[in-house]
Amino acid sequence: MNIEIKEIAVERSNSAPYGIATDDKGNVWFTQHKANKISCLDKSGLIREFSIPTPDAQVLCHNNWLRWFIMVY
């Protein structure tokens, strides 16, 4: 089995990427805990970032068949 691992940089170096979830299209979703963003990495390597409107939401990601994003208060 050949496995290729590729490191992909996020825009903000101290964003604290945390948690990984995948979807049925092969996209990889993760949170940028300190940057207050939810991000999606597609198969081409493009990262789309979605800002959370709640200041300091401390958003986390969990993959349990469904994609869950929670905010810690």
Predicted pLDDT of residue 62 = 65
The string of pLDDT tens digits covering residues 3-42 is: 888 888 787 777 888 788 888 888 988 888 888 888 899 9
Determine contact, residues 62/68, Cβ cutoff 8 Å: yes
Predicted pLDDT of residue 48 = 92
Determine contact, residues 48/37, Cβ cutoff 8 Å: no
Place of tokens 């948690």: 19
Q: What is the pTM for the complete model shown?
A: 0.74
Predicted pLDDT of residue 64 = 56
